[in-house]
Amino acid sequence: MDRIELLQVFVRVAETGSFTRAADRLGLPRASVTTAVQQLETRLGTRLLHRTTRRVGLTPDGEATLERARALVADMDDMEQQFLPARGQVSGRLKVDVPSRIARLLIAPALPDFFERHPAIELELGSTDRAVDLVLEGIDCALRVGPLTSSSLVARPLGHFALINCASPAYLERHGTPRSPADLPEHLAVNYASPTSGRAAPWEWLSDGEIATLRMRSQVAANNAETYIACALAGLGLIQIPAYDVREHLAAGELVEVLPDARAEPLPVQLVYPHRRNLSRRMQAFAGWLETVLADALDKPAPPAPGRPRKAR
């Protein structure tokens, strides 16, 4: 095996935590996988993996090597694909991270269509509600909802999620229906605590084009969307939520929209990725497909200004 192939084998063993599973994925004999890792360790002059009868783990040197190995393998894949015919089959590994509710409600149900179009792409779909470090965790792209913090990532705007205010019929029966923001101090909210900072976001609404905020009374806070919505369904308070997220609950009468004229500012939605001069064809294929999948849930953005890609802010 050449050096890139040795790195490919090492990456697969590290990701699966098993020589046997890596061999199955690569279509190689287990002995060949073991030999490849040993050859790589000899070349580098260090031990990369802890081997036990139950599992395989990375040594500190292995952890340091893994991210560089991923980048080298990805760059080689990109170089090979760059010169294939435009209509040739797109292939390779793609690691993506998206918010958990979007993964469950929108992306996962549509994946059969993606793989029908691109059967040779191997997708690793992470779903979290925290802002992952793309470079540190070897992620090719991530879907981010909300304002972006300063970073070196490139952002591709996709649109906005409209936010609505809603509550369960049981809550409204007990506490009444707010008719204007002036009624909010008399109500309870389910607080949403940032998974990153732990701080609870205030209630927001647009008033004459300006953002108004209020720290509402609350009996419970949640740090993920699933629990946040579940608390609202249980009648624990008002919530502000992307409209797509509760469409089924609204249609079933399990939640009711309130204060339709006092909504919060829509949330921007962006696909972000580490800066690269040329995006891989598999990355371009996924980004284009994702935009069509999200189209029904998004308000479209204004056309971007011509020139260089917009940086995440």
Output the domain CATH number for residue 69. 1.10.10.10
Whether residues 167 and 253 fall in one domain: yes
Q: What is the domain extent for residue 136?
A: 92-161+267-297
Whether residues 169 and 222 fall in one domain: yes
Q: What is the pTM of this model?
A: 0.67
Whether residues 240 and 101 fall in one domain: no
Higher pLDDT, 146 or 232: 232
**156 three-class SS:** strand
Whether residues 30 and 96 fall in one domain: no
N- to C-terminal Cα separation, the chain: 43
- Span 181-186, mean pLDDT? 95
Domain count, the chain: 3
Residue 108 located in a structural domain: yes
Residue 157 located in a structural domain: yes
Whether residues 74 and 13 fall in one domain: yes
Whether residues 172 and 243 fall in one domain: yes
Residue 127 located in a structural domain: yes
Residue 149, sorted as left (phi over 0), alpha (psi -120 to 50) or beta, turns out to be beta
Strands 217-222 and 188-192: parallel
Question: Would you say 99 and 223 are in contact if contact means Cβ atoms under 8 Å apart?
Answer: no
Q: Which of 183, 243, 194, 249 is nearest to 217 (CA)?
A: 183
Higher pLDDT, 302 or 281: 281
Domain boundary among 48, 82, 116: 82
Whether residues 167 and 221 fall in one domain: yes
CA–CA dist 110, 126 (Å, integer): 16
Residue 84 binned pLDDT confidence (cut-offs 50, 70, 90): low
CATH number at residue 250: 3.40.190.10
Domain boundary among 82, 116, 144: 82
Residue 313 located in a structural domain: no
Residue 303 located in a structural domain: no
Residue 309 located in a structural domain: no
Asked if residue 269 has pLDDT above 50, the reply is: yes
- Span 107-124, mean pLDDT? 92
Asked if residue 215 has pLDDT above 70, the reply is: yes
> pLDDT tens-digit profile of 23-69?
887 888 889 999 999 999 899 999 999 887 677 888 888 888 887 88
Whether residues 144 and 272 fall in one domain: yes
Whether residues 147 and 291 fall in one domain: yes
Percent of the chain topping pLDDT 70: 88
The alpha carbon of residue 239 and the mean position of all alpha carbons in its chain are separated, in whole angstroms, by 22
Residue 310 located in a structural domain: no
Q: Which residues of 228-250 are buried (b: 16+ CB within 10 A; e: fewer)?
A: bbebbbebbbbbbbbbbbbeebe
Residue 71 located in a structural domain: yes
Higher pLDDT, 135 or 184: 184
Whether residues 41 and 77 fall in one domain: yes
Whether residues 107 and 132 fall in one domain: yes
Whether residues 138 and 206 fall in one domain: no
Question: Would you say 239 and 167 are in contact if contact means Cβ atoms under 8 Å apart?
Answer: yes
What are the angstrom distances between the C-alpha of 256 and each of 87, 105, 122, 171, 172?
48, 20, 40, 10, 9
Domain boundary among 82, 111, 141: 82
- Span 97-124, mean pLDDT? 92
Asked if residue 312 has pLDDT above 80, the reply is: no
